[in-house]
Amino acid sequence: MLEYSTWSRRVVDLAGALSRLEAEAEAAGIAPQVTAAWHANLHQKLVPQAVDAPYLIVAVAGGANMGKSTMFNHLVGFPASRVHHNAAETKHPVCMLPRGFTDRHDLAKVFPGFTLQPWKSEDDAVAEGHPDGLVYREDPTGSQPENLVLLDTPDVDAALPNNWKLAEAITHAADVLIALLTQQKYNDEKIRRFFRIAAEADKAVLAVVNLIDWPDDRDHCRGWLDTFRKGTGAEPLHAYAVPRDRAAVRDNRLTFHPLSPRATDPRKDLAELQFAEIKIRSLRGSLRQALDPDEGIPAYLRDLEKRADDNRQARAVIHQKVQVKIDLPRPPGHIVGDEIWRWLEPRRTWFDRKVHGAYGALGRTVAKWLPGSVEPAEDEARFLAEEKTQLNKALEAVYHDLEQVHRVGSPALRQELQPLIAGDQRRRAFEELQRRLAAAPLATEAYRRAIATRLEAFEAEHPTMMRAIEWGLVATAIARPAVTIGMFGAADMAAGPLFDAGGHAIGQVFFDVAAGSALTAGGEGAFARISGPARALIGDLFAAFYRERAELLAKVIDDCVVGRHLDRIERLADLGQGQDFQTAYKLAAELSRELAALDEPALEAAAAEG
């Protein structure tokens, strides 16, 4: 026998891990399988009843207008659930608890997922109300056995899907089903399927053939029950026939004709059931159904794993395909130059500053009249216009790539990308890019700090060289009118550092900043003699500038284009590796193995018998 305490612990752990996993999956866009049989088995039955449940839940189940409520009223002994001549009127399960049940048990834990409503009148069951409502009452007569919980359920076949949902959910919690059958409906596909699922979960079944013409139909009843047995696989413990009798219904005194050898009256027979055996069988049956390899928890886990795989693949594809290469235009020379001068300012000698100032003014005046020279403002405008063009084109390229990925991607990925490449989203992204470009100053505070840091590091590394530059400035102060520092070493940038500008783990967009090719501004090139480290320094300073600009696009792409969705892809991709997934997987596998080991001797015995 499956050790009660060891596996109940693990079932609770499994349910916890699965709940967390489902929450994670839901956050990433996978709807939880609340309607699946395993879900109901696990949460409605195994978790609430595995630890401590010395009671049996008996549910009256069947199709619309078959007399479920009538049967229920008979079982509880008074009209507790309204009987209506129209079909599909019972919209909420009605639960009759033995006296003192609520003192011993927490009802919210016995029926998780239901909105519990105390019984007020027999009309509660037919009232429109909460879609998850369950009406409960403690047995007022005191005649109900203390370990028996009785349930009336909505129909399983009429045109109100919420009724089926409730009926199925509550039935999963039950140990014993009272199966209502009529000559019209006993072999309906919906009814058959409903009881087949219950039979597969090893629930005990009492069959009641209702609305018959007694005794004309006596012989038919046996045939109908045989068909029911064959169609559902259920083996009713007892079977009864109930004649059609409106007066009896009204007075709540049904006549039961036993159709099986030891059957008397369901009320009496229920009280005499072998509680422990039925309980364990139904729990084990529920566990078996929950762990069904094709439809149960293993299938769900497999499904999750597959989604995770898909998304991992999607992540790889996006990573691979969505890359933009931007040829940022030649930066305005004075931007970098000015910043370097600004940094040098406090370090310069008075003489140097004065001479440079004077020559600088002269140089600027002269430069204005030189052919091919450009004003700083004009240079900036040109840079901004070209940069805007380039960034717009880059964004176009990103969208083009995304569309390619969308076209060839898996269905899950396509669904994920669909809203991303819609027109409205594109417009937002472009507008955001224009807005941010307009708002971004050319040289930001961050850039200034980057330059300062870099220069200071350089000074610390090569103090002599910095001294030389400073002295060189003094020296050239006399020699040059227009040499500016900003332009030297530009050719080094041709190699162009490949850097990532995005902060996002997956939204990394690589910018191959091939800047150097365009960097020929200024024209002086007087510092060509400067040795390696200094050239690297200048290269870095420009790269820092470009990084600033490229980051702007990367941020737009991250914020407006793909970010949030990639987040989901990322989360889904990692789902299969999480702790909860591993736990659930391990527990499900263990329990399945043990269950199979238990079933084996039983099967062998059955084989030996047959």
Partner 1 sequence: MAERFTKADWEREHLLAGFDRLHDRLRAWAKSAPAWPPYDEAKGLVERLDPRLRVPEIDLDRALVVGFLGGSGTGKSTLFNALLGRRVSRAGKEFRPMTRRAVVACHPDVDPAFLGLDEDALEIHRLNIPLLEQMILIDCPDPDTQDPEDGEGGGRHLDILRSVLPHCDVMVHTVTSQKYKSHVVGQEVRRNAPGRQILFVQTHASIDHDNRPDLRRYLDTLGLRVPEIYRLDAAEAQAKQDAGQPVDAEFARFRDLLEHELASRARHRIRRANLLGLYGWLLSAIRGPVDAGLEAVAKLEGALDQERARMAAKIAAKMSERIDANRRLWRSRVLRQLNQTWGAGPLAFLIGLWSATGSLLRSLILLRARTPTQAILAGGWTAVSLVGEKWRESRAAAALTAEADLGLTEGDLAHARTILQGYLNDAQIRPSPSDDGGDFSAEQLATVAVEVYRRLDAEINEVVEKRVARRAGRGVHVVFEALFALLPAWLVLHMAKNFFYDHMIQGESLLGLDFVFQAAFWCLLWGVAVGGLLLSRLNRGLDHDLKAVVDRLAHAPLLDALCRDASDACLAVRTHSEALAALERDLADLERRVGGVLDLGLGALRVESPPELAAPAANPIPAKTPIAAG
CB of 253 to partner 1, least distance (A): 20
Which residue number, 85 or 529, has a Cβ lying nearer to partner 1? 85
Q: Which residues contact 610 (CB under 8 A, 6 or more apart)?
A: none
Q: Residue 426 or residue 571: which is nearer to partner 1 going by CB?
A: 426
Which CB, 28 or 429, lies closer to partner 1?
429
The residue among 150 and 561 lying less far from partner 1, judged by its C-beta, is 561
Residue 505 corresponds to which tokens in the numbers above?
Answer: 């783990």
Q: What angle do CA 357, 359, 360 make, to 5 degrees?
A: 60
**Can you tell me the distance from the alpha carbon of 487 to that of 434, in angstroms, rounded to the nearest whole number?**
29
Query: Minimal CA–CA distance to 319: which of 494, 184, 502?
Result: 502
CB of 430 to partner 1, least distance (A): 5
Gyration radius of the chain's alpha carbons: 39
Point out which residues bind partner 1 (CB under 8 A). 63-66, 85-88, 157-161, 182-190, 192-193, 211, 217, 220, 223-224, 227, 231, 244, 385, 388-393, 395-396, 399-400, 403, 421-427, 430, 434
As a residue count, the chain comes to: 610
In DSSP terms, 94 is beta-bridged to 135, 152
Q: What are the two backbone dihedrals, phi and then psi, of residue 183, each rounded to the nearest 5 degrees? A: -65, -30
Specify burial of residue 374 (Cβ count, 10 A radius: 0-12, 13-18, 19+): middle
For residue 147, the 8-state DSSP code is: T
**CB proximity list for 10: less than 8 A, separation 6 or greater:** 587, 590, 591
DSSP at 34 = T
Nearer to partner 1, 20 or 220 (CB): 220
**With respect to partner 1, which residue has the nearer C-beta, 220 or 229?**
220
CB of 210 to partner 1, least distance (A): 10
Q: What is the rounded CA–CA span in Å between residue 485 and residue 468? A: 14
Cα torsion through 93, 99, 100, 104, rounded to 10: -60
Contact 511, 543 (CB under 8 A): no
| Residue in this structure with the two tokens 């510092």, named with its chain if needed | 527
* Continuous H helices in 292-375: 297-321, 333-344, 350-369
Pairing relationship of beta strands 56-61 and 94-97 according to DSSP bridges: unpaired
Q: What Cα–Cα distance (Å) separates residue 598 from each residue in 50, 197, 268, 327, 595?
A: 18, 21, 33, 69, 5
| Residue 473 CB, nearest approach to partner 1 (Å) | 39
407 contact partners, CB below 8 Å, separation of at least 6:
none
Alpha-carbon span 202 to 14, nearest angstrom: 21
**Which tokens in the block code for residue 522?**
């200024």
Phi, psi of 133 (to 5 degrees): -70, 145
